[in-house]
Amino acid sequence: MPIAVGDRLPAATFKTMTAEGVKEVTTADVFAGRKVVLFAVPGAFTPTCSKAHLPGYLANRDAILAKGVDEIVVTAVNDVFVMDAWSKANDADGKILFLADGAAAFVSAIGLTLDLTAAGMGVRSQRWSMLVDDGVVKELNFEEKPGVADLTGGACMLGHL
Ligand code: BEZ
């Protein structure tokens, strides 16, 4: 069953790139006692994710943080090196936290996988956005149409805060 508003995020471990190299980050590290905007994309560097979804959060970052959000986080079923390259390609280091869910463990645990095997991409994440307060989902958004990042985008999230 997919995660819903009011549910607590399951315990999971991601990988992220730091100045000291690859580091493991847990859901407790990111969400405990904090208000976090988390969004997920089917794949780093894919067209909608790169041209619309990530840029929308970068453009609205300051306004989102000004509403009391501690951090904006993006996750995808990609390895940590791809996620790091995607962050750097978009000048997002230090602005948005990139969490690699490389084996799809987190997105499987929350029931939001997307089977892109036919596209040669395997199991990925659906496109979604969440507001998470102290580990509990307060808002959960999905797109109604493929190829857009509107309802899950930064401007829309800002409007919900
Ligand atoms: C995208 O444009 O974001 C996308 C393209 C193909 C598969 C998944 C996502």
* pTM for the full predicted model: 0.98
Residue with token string 């909608």:
48
Q: Is the CB of 42 under 6 A from ligand 1?
A: yes
* Residue among 106, 27, 22, 17 nearest 71 (CA): 27
What's the pLDDT tens digit per position in 97-109? 999 999 999 999 9
61: which residues sit within 8 A by CB, 6+ positions away?
Answer: 72, 95, 96, 154
Question: Residue 114 phi/psi, 5° resolution?
Answer: -140, 125
Q: How many CB atoms within 10 Å of residue 96?
A: 20
What's the pLDDT tens digit per position in 54-82? 999 999 999 999 999 999 999 999 999 99
Q: Is CATH 3.40.30.10 what the domain over 13-160 is classified as, yes or no?
A: yes
Q: Is the CB of 154 under 6 A from ligand 1?
A: no
DSSP 118: G
What's the pLDDT tens digit per position in 92-144? 999 999 999 999 999 999 999 999 999 999 999 999 999 999 999 999 999 99
* Residue 156 designated active-site: no
Nearest-CA residue for ligand 1 atom 6 is 46
What's the pLDDT tens digit per position in 24-57? 999 999 999 999 999 999 999 999 999 999 999 9
Q: How far apart are CA 143 and CA 121, in angstroms?
A: 20
Q: Which residues, listed in sequence order, are joined to residue 149 by a DSSP beta bridge?
A: none
Nearest-CA residue for ligand 1 atom 4 is 46
pLDDT at 70: 98
Q: Is the CB of 52 under 6 A from ligand 1?
A: no
Mutate to test the pocket of ligand 1, among 39, 41, 45, 49 (most ligand atoms within 8 A of CB): 49
**Would you kindly state where each structural domain of the chain is located, as residue ranges?**
13-160
Reduced to 3 states (helix: H, G, I; strand: E, B; else coil), residue 54 is helix
Q: Determine which one of 49, 64, 114, 149 is catalytic.
A: 49
